[in-house]
Structure 1
Amino acid sequence: MTVTKKYHVGVSYANEDQDIVKSVVKALESVGLTVFFDQKEATRLVGKNLTYTLPEIYRNCCEYCLMFVSNSYVSKKWTTYERDWLLDKRIELQRDDIFTDCIIPVFIDRMDMPGLNPGIVGFDIRKQSADDIARIMYEKIAGSESHMTAEPLSLETVFNKVLAAVEDLLTKQSTCPYQTDRLSEYDVVVHLSAEDNDYFLRLVLEEPLHGLLKIAQGEVFMPQQEWIWDAEAYLEDGQLQFINYNLTPEFPGLPHPYTVEKLCKAVMQKVSDFVKEYPHV
């Protein structure tokens, strides 16, 4: 993809609509798009004056912005500010003869908004699913549907795909109690409990350059700070390289070309094995 800004997509919304927004954000991330979602940027935004910070992010850091249009979005004072910032950005780009489809409405319970040209094509959440929106946005950004199977270009994408796959598995196929602890944006621990046994899976991108994705898994028997990494992955010339220590039985200890899909399956297999061990839970 030719996008050069930090985020492929930003989202502007009213808090009343956050459940819909979260489902769309999750779908966007599952196809490999980076998303600015304020609820995932709490650390970065603490102490900032949002009156200045958010316009800068929307204008300079996001290639596209999905504006979730609803009665709540139109009526609230703060989202009116956000709407004005975004529409001003569109006017500036149009004045400079740059593409003007950077603001894309997602209509929730109304199909119009003050200041938004009624001819602009957007999404209708009543007719299109979160997955539909994600697929179309990916095709728009990537340039063609054929890129959907291409290797993601960042470890952030790999991280989000693996985490989304695990959460989907636990949500749809498991009755085993679990809890997700997000230590930071790219440091997540999934805890699973069954009787007297506690199982964990940890995914973390190494700071500060996110040059390495680390994976730890197993039963809890040590202090949390004494993590033993079972696998590591990194990108080299656009190819995901996988180093296995104790996650799978194949080629231990040596870097090996891998696909994101195969990595997801390997991690999900470990989670699935634990869930199957306690089918009565």
Structure 2
Amino acid sequence: MGGKNLDPRNLKDAVMASVLEGVRNQIREKVGNIRDPDTGEFPTIVIRGNSLDDLKIQVEGSPALVALVNERLGLEAAGEPSAAPESQPHVFISYTSEDIDIARRVAEALRGAGIEVWWDKWCISSGDSLRQKIDEGIGGCTHFLVLLTPRSINKPWVNQEMDAGLIRKLNDQCRFLPVRHELPASELPPLLSGIASASIVTDADVAQLIHDIYALTRKPPRGPAPAAVQNSRASQTGYSAAANAIARYFVEKSEDGLFGDPICEVDELAKEVGLSVEDTEDAIQELSGFLRLSTGHVLVEGTLFAEFDRYWKPWSTADDALRLAADIMSDPKFPDPCEEIAKLYQWEPRRLNSTAYYLLERSLIVDYQGIGTAPWAVFRIVGNQNMRRFVKSRS
């Protein structure tokens, strides 16, 4: 197929790989030939994914060129993902005084994780108007948390607060969080039966709430936010805090920056980054194209290093790639064996491999990947016609 021999024992994967390669080539041909009429710049195309279902396309270039590509292809967005603004949720806790012990436990746990909490014991003082203070708390919340127990489920006051919380939810003004304690889901009223309700029994249940709610708080004292949140604040990658934590783990743990370096199980990865298994699996899905799952193991793609090294390594892979490409294009005698290039630049394999994957992903070099190349990602680094355009457009 396409001039290549196929192994009949692996025919399905071989056919899919051939189809994907054809799709990638069509996209590169269609998008790669769009040119800025004023500057002569061509776009650089990045295509990630191992199946037709998870293909992701990224177009790089000047803002004017990206806008032109959008216009030609009718795309809504292109280029690198923009960093999502940091949200600051405020949690309102509704409960009955008979459940004050469990309410205090939840409130203090959320507050201890850096989450802004409205709880009447903290927010209502002598002489305050109860109605006014509660209205302020509900009106300013982004998360309405109601503690549902056999004692609170029929309390008129709790139901009135729930009505206000549900109205805000219907108006997309807050998230509604029904949390059960000692109450089976089967005993929820019909209006709440269609809303997923967490059950609070152990500290792990409270920890799951904390992983879903990130914020700053003015109430002293408070403990540090989860490590995944701190990493996300420090590095605005455009991905979620959980995805950031996992990407950073592989960036910092990889020895040579190669495919499958390192390999770990999902449970092991969750423990390393301080996330639940469910959150870890969701983050792996978010990072599709950079990670893949195989028989319960997480395999890292070399493209993850090309994308994320700039956040947690002392180099910029994009800058390294442009430097290397410019040197290759300007010097016909520039060496192509990876060992010689690394010696020339005084780079370890970890850094050169990240650069090689960056160039490979953009189809700027000949694909010389193969078995037995370690510690190098490719046998040789040889530029092609796309590399000439890449260098010229960024000169």
TM bucket normalised to smaller:
0.3 to 0.5
More strand by share: 1
Max Rg structure:
2
More helix by share: 2
Taking structure 1 as the reference length, the TM-score comes to 0.43
